[in-house]
């Protein structure tokens, strides 16, 4: 792999489009990746592969596309269960068990969203579920879509405020039916994909799982850990790197780009060519190119 400038290739393996909770369409996302000077970009929408086809069709010359998804998972070893995210790369999008599980999670997300809106409306907060669905434009509906409705209504200033304790972070937060993380790793591997634990030490997001669990996941087929991420402090990044080295896991870095939902830009954090090549070699789906 070479970059277009002759410098080290820039690889971003975690980005979202309007197929889930990003603000750029898949077409706009790949164009933005090319404009940002990326050599490779992964589209990893929440629990869906719906953005893959339009992204591939619009892929600019010189940009490689890694098809992936970010799976909504949970670990039941704590009370309440700890939510976590698993990045899955280059898997078979038609694997029956994985397809069924992702469909179940998407349906549960939508049901939870409608229930959250009902709670808000019961408290006299004027947000509309049909308008939220329309704004999602067929993408996987999540709390970020409700957050945008709160912003449009002038009730909160930004996404961070919408996810505060008075709103979606606590008062109007409901659990959703995530995938058991061990089952998720198994399903991704069965579908020929490469599972990587997203932002595993991001304490600013809430509770994190213990290192012992990550060791168990590594034994069950986990391939890597996302170390370089905006929600990891320098100490947390160092911790993740050390743990990955101890367990023989690959290390990734990425922006977790969501467009205007977040301030972080494409390519803000990157993955090494070595880790990228390990993922490509292990996946069953080929990297897409123009």
Structure tokens at 95: 């694997």
Phi, psi values for residue 223, rounded to 5° = -100, -30
Mean pLDDT of 189-212: 96
pTM tops 0.85, yes or no: yes
Number of residues written out for the chain: 290
pLDDT band for position 176 (50/70/90)?
Answer: confident
Query: What pLDDT does residue 141 have?
Result: 84
Q: Is the pLDDT of residue 125 over 60?
A: yes
List the single range of 28-42, 50-64, 161-175, 265-279 with lowest mean pLDDT: 161-175
Mean pLDDT of 183-189: 98
Query: What pLDDT does residue 7 have?
Result: 74
- Listed in sequence order, the DSSP H helices in 123-180 are 129-136, 143-152, 159-162
pLDDT tens readout for residues 60-77: 999 999 999 999 999 999
Question: What one-character-per-residue DSSP string does 30-57 give?
Answer: HHHHHHTT-SEEEEEEET--TTHHHHHH
Q: Is the pLDDT of residue 201 over 90?
A: yes
Q: Is the pLDDT of residue 50 over 90?
A: yes
Listed in sequence order, the residues at least 6 apart from 126 whose beta carbon sits closer than 8 Å to its beta carbon are 153
Query: What pLDDT does residue 74 have?
Result: 97
Mean of all residue pLDDT scores within the chain: 95
Return the CATH architecture of domain 11-282: Alpha-Beta Barrel (3.20)
């Amino acid at each position: 792999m070479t970059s277009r400038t002759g410098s080290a290739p820039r690889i971003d393996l975690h980005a979202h489009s309007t197929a889930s909770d990003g603000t750029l369409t898949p077409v706009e996302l790949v164009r933005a990746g090319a404009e940002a000077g990326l050599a490779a970009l992964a589209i990893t929408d929440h629990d869906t592969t719906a953005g893959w086809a339009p992204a591939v069709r619009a892929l600019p010359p010189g940009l490689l596309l890694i098809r992936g998804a970010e799976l909504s998972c949970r670990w039941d070893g704590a009370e309440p269960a700890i939510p976590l995210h698993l990045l899955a790369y280059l898997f078979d999008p038609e694997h029956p068990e994985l397809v069924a599980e992702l469909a179940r999670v998407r349906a549960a997300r939508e049901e939870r969203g409608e229930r959250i809106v009902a709670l808000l409306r019961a408290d006299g907060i004027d947000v509309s579920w049909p308008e939220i669905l329309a704004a999602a434009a067929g993408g996987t509906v999540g709390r970020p879509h409700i957050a945008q409705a709160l912003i449009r209504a002038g009730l909160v200033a930004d996404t961070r405020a919408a996810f505060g304790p008075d709103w979606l972070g606590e008062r109007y937060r409901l659990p959703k039916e995530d995938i058991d993380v061990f089952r998720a790793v198994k399903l991704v591997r069965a579908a020929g994909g490469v599972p990587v634990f997203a932002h595993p030490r991001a304490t600013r997001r809430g509770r994190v799982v213990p290192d012992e669990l990550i060791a168990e996941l590594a034994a069950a087929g986990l391939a890597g850990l996302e170390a370089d991420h905006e929600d990891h402090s320098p100490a947390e990044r160092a911790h993740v790197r050390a743990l990955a080295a101890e367990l023989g896991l690959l290390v990734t870095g990425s922006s977790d780009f969501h467009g205007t939902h977040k301030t972080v830009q494409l390519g803000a954090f990157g993955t090494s060519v070595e880790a990228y090549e390990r993922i490509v070699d292990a996946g069953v789906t080929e990297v897409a190119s123009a």
